[in-house]
Structures are given as C-alpha cells and as structure tokens.
Amino acid sequence: MGRAHSTAWLNTAKFFDLPREPVMSGVAARDAMGVAAFARRYGWGRSTTDWRDLLADPSIDLIDVATPNHVHAEQSIAALEAGKHVACEKPLAGTLADAKAMRDAARKAARKGVKTFVWFNYRRCPAVAYARELVAAGRLGRIFHVRAAYLQDWGGPETPLLWRFNSAEAGSGAHGDLNAHIIDMARFITGEEIIEVAGAIEHTFITQRPLLSGADRTKGGIRSRGATKRARTSAARPATGRSTVDDCVLFLARMSGGAVASFEATRLATGNQNRNRIEINGEHGSILFDFERMNELQWWDHQLPVAERGWSRIMCTTPGAHPYVDAYWPPAHGLGYEHGFISQAADIVKVLGGVAPVAPLADFEDAYRTQCVLEAAVESARKRRPVAVGQD
C-alpha cells in the first residue's frame, strides 16, 4: 500500500485545486536501504527506520499509516497523542480491542481539533460515489437486498506464507482485507447500518504454505504470488508453515432500514482477479457495480414502462455529472485503481483545509462500526448462531 499512498500524495495537487499543498516530508520502514530507495523513487523528502522520528517532527501535520494491521493501533494512537492528524489503512486494526482503543483515542484527539481518516478508497470510485447519490435521491426507493462479494484468486497453494497469512500480524485473512471494503461500501451507498449477522461461514482451505526466507516474508502484496525466495528443507521440497487466517468468509446480515444482505470475501475464487462487486435492489430500481469494470455502473429503472425495462450501462466518466471526474480526463477516457487514492488524498487535504470533501470520508469512528460487523461475522461463524452487531 505504500506505493498506492505515495502515488496519491505525489499527484493529488496536480489534479485537484486544494486549500493546502501536500509536502511529502518523510517515510519510515524497517529496511534502511529499501526505504531510502523508496523515498527517492516516490518523492519523499527523507527516510528513517524509526517511525517515531516522524512524530517528533513539528513540521509534519499528518501521519499516513500503511503498515501491517497489528501495528495500526500503536502507531496511530502515538501519532494522535503527538497532535498529528492520522490517515490509516483498512481494516482499522487487526482486533476489535485495538480498533476500540483507536476510536477512543480519536475521540479524545478530536476535542483538540485533530482529525482521523481511513483509506476506504473504493468510496472515491466515481461509480460508487454516484451510486450513493442515486440512493440518497430516492431513485431506488425502499432497499430490499444488498448482495456484495469481493473475490480474488491470488491466494492459491503456491502463494507463500506472507504476513497476510499470520493472524498475529493480519488479524484475519480475506475477511478483514476484503469484507471490510464491501461492508463499508454497503454502509456508504445505502446510508444504513448492519445491525445483525444472521449466519456465517469461516474457512481456511490452504493450511500449509511455502515459507519465504528472511525479509521477503514481510512483503504482503498480492504481487508476491509465486515468489521464489523460499526456505527449503531439501532441494526438492520447500519448507512450509501454518496459515492461521481464513481464506474465505461468507455471511448473511440484516440492515437498519429493513434490507437483508449477503457478503462474501475470498482469495481463492479462480478467475476473479479483483472482483469487488455490489448489487443493491430497491422498490424502484437496482444498481450493480463491479470494480473489474470500475468506470461503469449498471442501472435498472423499474419505473420505466414494462416494455422498456432492462439493465443499462452508465459510463461514470462525465465531468460535471459524476463525482471526482472534473479533476481528471474527458468522457470515457477511464480512471484506474490509483485514482481512488489520489481522490481520497484530495478529500483529506480539503477537510484539513476547511473545505467539504466530494463524498464523506470514513474516520476512526466510522471504521470502528465496520470493525464491529467484521467481529460479529467471525463470532457468528464460530458459534454457529446469529449475532447482534454491537457498537459500544
């Protein structure tokens, strides 16, 4: 995620007119040579192996946390206590206890004007933000169904034991990584909360994975699939270690407005590379979004005459008509994955400069609600019963 966030900060002022100019002061990571090279490539002013150095720098206003989930709480809370605004990767934390501590720290810091943000970047996709506008305008009417799935296929048996497969570091597998996104999207688009998980399945298909050697194990991106630097017990057989996270989690839920919902996250849906998909069915219409066709929103208008009804494609790339597009290219020229991060960086800077964001941003309070749903789904799967979503 460091590349995605860095690209965003490097380019956001080139696309958006902002109330303040982002300055990329410094970046921290564990490997001194690696982080120095990263800083040079992505435009950071300096690099360090101690993230606390950045907290001590009075010229820095915002700390961007893009580290493994188990250190989100320590780093974010320390930054808030140092008076820094914080933008943290999702999920908010690896555990509900850590997420609650972060939320509480954010509440305390907010009394001093310190703000928090969470990188639910798919909110910044023009088609998703426009879907929210359609729902808010009543175009779907009463919501009956939310049907969401985030399907990837990079986590097969050959994928090595990255930190993402270690519960002590990641907290969970596909659930926290992918379900977090579609839970947030469902809440964001509909404006409703998930109040109960009615039932769930949590499953790990690949229990043993090839071990990586040394520092390679800290690489957590999906581009690491098929990595070759593996520890070996012999020339023929690589050493393996136990995966301690889920490969997939599916759950059914009830929403505060009366809708019912289904969610599925997996890294083993062969043929689905990044199919972040949500369909919402209402009394007056339906919408369907699939990130593998991220510039499009499928729309069914049920108020048309019967003979004219059918799924239509909205190309969400028209400046002046679709959120965020004014900052980028002419109609149908297409946006990419990186533009969601660029747009989020712009909205963060706008908020810090006293300007309203194009679409609402998740803060720690908001992201904690998503974390509560994640926790309820795991509890439902393990206890095999419905679980109310608590938000104490």
Task: Give percent of the chain above pLDDT 90.
Answer: 92
- Quote the pTM value: 0.94
Q: What are phi and psi of 9, to 5 degrees?
A: -65, -35
Does residue 81 sit in the same domain as residue 166?
no
Q: What is the pLDDT of residue 218?
A: 52
Does residue 114 sit in the same domain as residue 127?
no
Q: Which CA distances in Å does 163 have to 69, 129, 232?
A: 10, 32, 18
For the chain, give the mean pLDDT: 95
For tokens 């700390």, what's the residue? 63
86 within a domain of the structure (yes/no)? yes
Beta-sheet pairing, 27-28 with 312-315 = unpaired
Q: What is the mean pLDDT of residues 98-125?
A: 98
The total domain count for the chain is: 2
Q: What is the pLDDT of residue 392?
A: 77
Does residue 373 sit in the same domain as residue 308?
yes
Contacts of 204 (CB under 8 A, 6+ apart): 173, 243, 245, 246, 247
Does residue 169 sit in the same domain as residue 287?
yes
Whole-angstrom distance, CA of residue 324 vs CA of residue 327: 6
Q: What is the pLDDT of residue 229?
A: 47
Q: What is the pLDDT of residue 258?
A: 98
Query: 39 is written with which tokens?
Result: 């800083």
Q: What is the pLDDT of residue 266?
A: 98
DSSP SS3 for 68? coil
How does DSSP assign 2-36, residue by residue?
A: HHHHHHHHHHHHHHS--SS------EE-S-HHHHH
338 within a domain of the structure (yes/no)? no
342 within a domain of the structure (yes/no)? no
| CATH number of the domain where residue 106 is located | 3.40.50.720
Does residue 157 sit in the same domain as residue 280?
yes
| Summary count for the chain: helices (H), strands (E) | 11, 16
How does DSSP assign 270-299, residue by residue?
A: TT-SSEEEEEEEESSEEEEEEGGGTTEEEE
Does residue 225 sit in the same domain as residue 182?
yes
Segment 265-285, tens digit of pLDDT: 999 999 999 999 999 999 999
Does residue 108 sit in the same domain as residue 154?
no
Q: What is the pLDDT of residue 391?
A: 74
For tokens 């909110």, what's the residue? 123
Q: What is the pLDDT of residue 165?
A: 96
Q: What is the pLDDT of residue 97?
A: 97
The residue type found at 230 is R
296 within a domain of the structure (yes/no)? yes
Segment 336-362, tens digit of pLDDT: 999 999 999 999 999 999 999 999 999
Q: Which CA distances in Å does 270 have to 106, 127, 275, 292, 344?
A: 40, 25, 11, 14, 30
Does residue 116 sit in the same domain as residue 171?
no
Range of lowest pLDDT (179-193, 211-225, 328-342, 368-382): 211-225
Between 365 and 238, where is the model more confident?
365
Whole-angstrom distance, CA of residue 243 vs CA of residue 337: 29
Contact (CB, 8 A) for 175 and 152:
no
Q: What is the pLDDT of residue 81?
A: 98
Rg (CA), the chain: 21
Q: What count of Cα atoms within 13 Å lies in the side-chain half-sphere of residue 167?
A: 11
Whether the bond into 91 is cis, omega within 30 of 0: yes
344 within a domain of the structure (yes/no)? no
Cα dihedral 127/91/145/288 (nearest 10): 20
Does residue 209 sit in the same domain as residue 299?
yes
DSSP SS3 for 154? coil
Which residue range(s) make up the domain with 13? Answer: 2-121
Q: What is the pLDDT of residue 51?
A: 98
Estimate to the nearest angstrom the gap between the alpha carbon of 6 and the chain centroid.
16
268 within a domain of the structure (yes/no)? yes
| CATH number of the domain where residue 140 is located | 3.30.360.10
In the structure, what pLDDT confidence band is assigned to residue 226 with cuts at 50, 70 and 90? very low
Whole-angstrom distance, CA of residue 288 vs CA of residue 72: 33
* Residue 385 CB coordination number (10 Å): 12
Whether pLDDT at 204 is above 80: yes
Does residue 117 sit in the same domain as residue 128?
no
Whole-angstrom distance, CA of residue 104 vs CA of residue 210: 39
Does residue 152 sit in the same domain as residue 237?
yes
